[in-house]
Amino acid sequence: MKTIYQFFITSVLACAASSSAILPREAGFEHVYDSNLDAWKRATNQAPKGYAPQAVDCPSTRPSIRVASGLSDQETKWLEKRRSNTIAPMRDLLTRLNITGFDAGRYVDDNRDNTTALPNIGIAFSGGGYRAMTNGAGNLAAFDSRTPNSTNTGQIGGLLQSATYIAGLSGGGWLVGSIYVNNFTTVQNIIDKNSDGSVWQLGNSILEGPKTGGIQALSTVQYYGNLYDTVISKQDAGFNFNVSLTDYWGRALSFQLINASEGGPGYTWSSIQDDADFKDGNAPMPIIVADERNPGEAIISLNSTVFEFNPFEMGSFDPTLYGFAPLRYLGSNFTGGELPDEDKCIGGFDSAGFIMGTSSSLFNIAISQLDSFKGVPQLVKDALKGVLVNIGRDNNDIADYKPNPFYHFNNRSNPSAQAERLTLVDGGLDLQNIPLNPLIQPPRNMDVIFAVDSSSDTLKADGSYSAWPNGTALVATYERSTNASIQNGTAFPAIPDQNTFVNLGLNNRPTFFGCDASNLTGPAPLIVYLPNSPYVYNSNTSTNQMDYNNTERNAMIQNGYLVATMGNGTRDVQWPTCVGCAILSRSLNRTNTAVPDVCRQCFDRYCWNGTVASSTPPPYEPTPVFTLLKVKSGVGRFVPNVLGFALVAAVSGFLAL
């Protein structure tokens, strides 16, 4: 068995001489080094009483809500460290990418005393359930220099180490969250640990609970009893907190994503800021994205407020809210941006599982189906029914943030200013299924964003989803950037319609958007679009699929690795060079440096040139690049197709624009 890279190298080399790839006998990974997940130093168990938020002493400077006129002081100080720490890995990456006629090492050295001149890189992972998590994991492994052999010829390892920010949404948020809560571990580390009860063991549906073994020792009945006890502890904490289905969903996710006993109910998202490596700027800043559901509304539109959760804060740059709350003290009774003198601070509200669940609350519907699932204790079924009665079935996809940290804050434009609770939903419900919004904010000065798209957009001949992307997420972000009432100074490259994506094959290979910086309405980053496509596996699994055996999981990851590397450079031997050119593009422009000829060739090949082909395309059924892996399929438990229903009306209306 082989590492992610080694698994493919024989097939890739063979492809240079023949039309078919030589594939190994089974889709697995070699255990190339010891990886003891039990010894990981994780994001810490900082909640004062497990999952139940509790009163804690306030810091000497009482927390408050800040206006989003720039970055927080904490992020600004962290950014100074991080940008400096990207110089060495960026130099190493760019010198390896073989940009002919350009001395990348010297360029970095000449500008190392002015980090603002050097490239500022972001990475974004779309939503799409476990499909997005595993396809995104393959891309992430390709970006990570710690993946064995990812720095060899044809590889782009080191991109992750050179990045400043990394964002995830829904299934992409599970990927980002799991990597960070488990101490910025590697994809290779996780898949090397394959014992029952370990993280990313998806053979048991989340509705069944983890197999006993490793750090988990609960039967299905005990599993649900644990979910019930922890969630009810929040409800009974004595501070009038509301409980939503997202509490149950987030706790269930934690068993799969957090390497701690019982899914680490006390592990908080804000604790990442105290991790030594993150604090010292040795890893990019993780951001998870969700949308606001305005009081009394059911449809999430492009004008909905986009919320972000970073290790320091939660809130939004959008003009509707234009404010941020200190994440560590969510649950405190802020009013008008201040915490009354007589009130204590609350700690532990920002459970890592709850944050990841908030970004993927569309899957709450899976939890709501437990009434018909065997092995679920009656008290759990009754509790879920009680939640649905309290919040109403029309609100079953919300995450309930009560007390609303933005109560009476920015009363002029904040849609929830008068509401005692803030209701957030799945970050992809406004069709911006790639979490680009936080990365295109002017204060973050992104030069290039690698956008990994695992969306399910395309249709089969019978009208059902074939689960490949068609650029809808990029179109949505572009459309939002042209709306003066909501865009708040964010600029985004022009994006063609979805039919053009399919007709021109822009959804079947990497495409660059915004190559000509002089032809933009503002300081927009260059977007490197990396759509999910088949190389050695049909990775268009249903968003509704809730279990994957390890061979399926690994095949999805392997295919995603090839998406990022274009088959280890087999489809285009200059692809790594072109990645380097994309990274450098804005920096070269900023420093008035001549663009190397090889980069001009790359831009001619990968930049969208403005051509539009808007006629209705035929049903999209892409051909795999290599011979498909023979993978033993699992049972493949699905949740009811209702998961897709919430998007249908919104998508239909949007595509008609």
Give me the residue spans of the domains in the chain: 4-655
Average pLDDT over the chain reads 87
d(CA 212, CA 71): 44
Reference 646, options 389, 298, 130, 168; nearest CA is: 298
Q: Which of 147-156, 274-283, 636-645 shows the lowest mean pLDDT across its residues?
A: 636-645
Is 56 in a helix, a strand, or coil? strand
Q: Which DSSP state fits 647?
A: H
d(CA 69, CA 215): 44
CATH H-level superfamily of 4-655: Cytosolic phospholipase A2 catalytic domain (3.40.1090.10)
Q: What digits encode the pLDDT tens for the residues 471-518?
A: 999 999 999 999 999 999 999 999 999 999 999 999 999 999 999 887
Three-state SS for 328-351 is HHCCCCCECCECCCCCCEEECCCE
Q: Which of 4-18, 89-103, 187-201, 296-310 shows the lowest mean pLDDT across its residues?
A: 4-18
Burial track 316-350 (b if 16+ CB lie within 10 A, e otherwise): bbbbbbbbbbbbbbbbbbbbebebeeeeebbbbbb
The fraction of the chain above a pLDDT of 70, given in percent, is 87
- Residues near 184 by Cβ (< 8 Å), separated by ≥ 6? 275, 277, 278, 283
**Mean pLDDT value of segment 368-382:** 77
Q: Of 349 and 650, which is predicted with more confidence?
A: 349
Q: Which of 232-241, 250-259, 552-561, 632-641 shows the lowest mean pLDDT across its residues?
A: 632-641
Examine the pLDDT at 21 and tell me if it is beyond 50.
no
Residue 17 has what pLDDT?
A: 32
Residue 178 has what pLDDT?
A: 97
d(CA 286, CA 175): 11
Locate tokens 């063609």: which residue? 496
DSSP string for residues in 275-287: SHHHHTT-SPEEE
Q: What digits encode the pLDDT tens for the residues 325-336?
A: 999 999 999 999
Residue 381 has what pLDDT?
A: 82
Whether the bond into 89 is cis, omega within 30 of 0: no
The fraction of the chain above a pLDDT of 90, given in percent, is 72
d(CA 410, CA 104): 47
Q: Which of 264-273, 393-402, 594-603 shows the lowest mean pLDDT across its residues?
A: 393-402
Examine the pLDDT at 120 and tell me if it is beyond 70.
yes
Quickly state the pLDDT bin for 293 (edges 50, 70, 90). Answer: very high
Are 602 and 513 in contact by the 8 Å Cβ rule? The answer is no
Quickly state the pLDDT bin for 383 (edges 50, 70, 90). Answer: confident
Q: Which of 233-247, 311-325, 499-513 shows the lowest mean pLDDT across its residues?
A: 233-247
Residue 197 has what pLDDT?
A: 65
**Mean pLDDT value of segment 225-254:** 93
Quickly state the pLDDT bin for 452 (edges 50, 70, 90). Answer: very high
Q: Which DSSP state fits 437?
A: G
Quickly state the pLDDT bin for 394 (edges 50, 70, 90). Answer: low
Are 226 and 262 in contact by the 8 Å Cβ rule? The answer is yes
Residue 229 has what pLDDT?
A: 93
Are 416 and 296 in contact by the 8 Å Cβ rule? The answer is no
Q: What digits encode the pLDDT tens for the residues 527-568?
A: 999 999 999 999 999 998 999 999 999 999 999 999 999 999
Residue 30 has what pLDDT?
A: 32
**Mean pLDDT value of segment 432-454:** 98
Residue 280 has what pLDDT?
A: 95
Q: Which DSSP state fits 318?
A: S
Examine the pLDDT at 637 and tell me if it is beyond 50.
no
Examine the pLDDT at 456 and tell me if it is beyond 90.
yes
Residue 205 has what pLDDT?
A: 85
Quickly state the pLDDT bin for 465 (edges 50, 70, 90). Answer: confident
Q: Of 386 and 525, which is predicted with more confidence?
A: 525
Are 187 and 4 in contact by the 8 Å Cβ rule? The answer is yes
Distances (CA, A) of 595 to 107, 281, 591: 12, 30, 11
